[in-house]
């Protein structure tokens, strides 16, 4: 498995990966109006320029997953992790997160955070196995509270914030 920083040539490929990964979620979790939502190209360009966009390559060499992060004070927030369903369960998501964790540690961040579905079997337990812990609402800082509120207003339910403290 290869994980590397995204190139400009990778960016047009990411929307299809994001949409294919979204198809795995039930309409109760991801409302139909969100199925075609993808990160805007301009946003991907900004994140790539900041060095916080990584891609995972399938054995064929094709881009099969990606992770987008953003700095939020002393925390590195994982905004999106998507892997094509065909490559799911093969370690690409784990590799992407390991890369973000290593980057966060090397860059001096105190923690990684993310939001995810609390009840989807391949989400919360996956992150817990990597050392993330679910946060009570009172533990969420302003940044995570804003994200959870925006997700709720957009129709997403059963969301939880998670944190991995970095040594």
The tens digit of pLDDT for each residue in 6-52 reads 999 999 999 999 988 887 777 777 777 776 788 999 999 999 999 99
Give the pLDDT confidence score for residue 1 in this predicted structure: 85
Q: Which two tokens stand for residue 69?
A: 């992060």
Half-sphere exposure at residue 125, Cβ-oriented, CA atoms within 13 angstroms: 4
In what order do the strands lie in the sheet containing 75-83? 2-5, 53-57, 63-72, 75-83, 111-117, 159-165, 133-134
pLDDT tier at 105, thresholds 50, 70, 90: very high
Which residue has 């991801």 as its token pair? 30
Percentage of residues of the chain with pLDDT beyond 90 = 75
pLDDT tier at 167, thresholds 50, 70, 90: confident
Domain range summary for the chain, segments of one domain joined by +:
2-165
Give the pLDDT confidence score for residue 52 in this predicted structure: 98
pTM for the structure as a whole: 0.93
The tens digit of pLDDT for each residue in 119-138 reads 887 788 999 999 999 999 99
140 vs 160: CA distance, rounded Å: 10
The residue-averaged pLDDT of 75-103 equals 95
User: Taking 80 as the threshold, does the pLDDT of residue 80 lie above it?
Assistant: yes
Look at residues 126, 133, 123 and name the one whose alpha carbon lies nearest to residue 156: 123
- Please tell us whether the domain made up of 2-165 is placed in CATH 3.10.50.40: no
Give the pLDDT confidence score for residue 37 in this predicted structure: 82
Helix (H) or strand (E) holding 145: helix 142-153
Own/partner long-range contacts of 73-76 (Cβ < 8 Å, ≥24 apart): 73/141, 73/143, 74/109, 74/110, 74/111, 75/109, 75/110, 75/111, 75/112, 75/113, 75/141, 75/143, 75/163, 76/52, 76/100, 76/103, 76/104, 76/107, 76/109, 76/111, 76/112, 76/113
């Amino acid at each position: 498995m290869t994980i590397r920083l995204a190139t400009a040539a990778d960016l047009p490929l990411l929307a299809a990966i994001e949409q294919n990964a979204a198809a795995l979620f039930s309409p109760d979790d991801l409302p139909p109006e969100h199925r075609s939502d993808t990160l805007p190209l301009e946003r991907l360009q900004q994140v790539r320029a900041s060095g916080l966009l990584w891609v995972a390559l399938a054995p064929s060499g094709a881009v099969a997953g990606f992770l987008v992060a953003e700095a939020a004070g002393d925390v590195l927030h994982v905004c999106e992790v998507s892997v094509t369903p065909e490559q799911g369960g093969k370690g690409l998501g784990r590799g992407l997160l390991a890369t973000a964790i290593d980057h966060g540690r090397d860059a001096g961040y105190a923690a990684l955070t993310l939001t995810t579905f609390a009840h989807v079997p391949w989400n919360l337990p996956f992150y817990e196995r990597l050392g993330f812990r679910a946060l009570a609402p009172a533990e969420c800082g302003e940044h995570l509270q804003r994200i959870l509120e925006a997700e709720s207003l957009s129709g997403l339910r059963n969301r939880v914030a998670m944190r991995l403290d970095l040594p």
